[in-house]
Structure 1
């Protein structure tokens, strides 16, 4: 299933919809302004919070945390010993890990679990400006989690670019 995400998503305080490939609204991104840390909520069409995304404070390396129902679900940070600058690790609470690699700032990257492709994030083949697609490859994958991972990785990469 393909989801279309507007690049505005990275603006704290911005609210906007993520649509499916048919143009139907599926998720609302609610950016929380006026907070000490960068915070987003991913909501369903009824306004229920599916995941909460926030930046972890007081860490040596920038880290984003995804929570569901107030409980930690995943932690995302750039791989420490990666030769590729655009390589991130997603540590899930069940001790599994997802790898994210590619050209993050160009919105051309993939999310994998144990070498198996879960999602492809890409601007290719999209005619809508400042939009990228999140193609969830596996039927049993959690689309909200994969969209949240894409949001976090892009946010972290943008922060790194600003810090340089």
Structure 2
């Protein structure tokens, strides 16, 4: 009985150390993105992830980790202190009016370098021009968020005219 109890206790301690190791790898990645305000592709705990700078959320920086299995974790960084939000952002509605607003945000980013708009449901659309792929093409980072939590992020190549 004592051996079984010791094995269970050892497994619980190992699991808690494993959870701490995961957090310890996530926290520096989130803190770095908050400090640079630049999204990065990263490996956290040996798994690919995008660490996405979402923007300002009050006095804090909003950062989310987008895992390849379509799971997103949300964080706030306030005074260099990282805290998990433990929230789930609502799914974005892909209806014609929201698509038009998103398209308008992307066009404005092509023209002016960055654009930001909020729809009537509270979703914020941010698009930024990244360094050019070529003289005719731009990379646009598009972020959709709700209450500072990432809903979706994509990179889009825009070539030719600003209107599309």
TM-score normalised by L of structure 1: 0.35
Structure with the higher helix share, 1 or 2: 2
Between the two structures, name the one with larger relative contact order (CA 8 Å, sep ≥ 6).
1
TM-score (normalizing by structure 2): 0.35
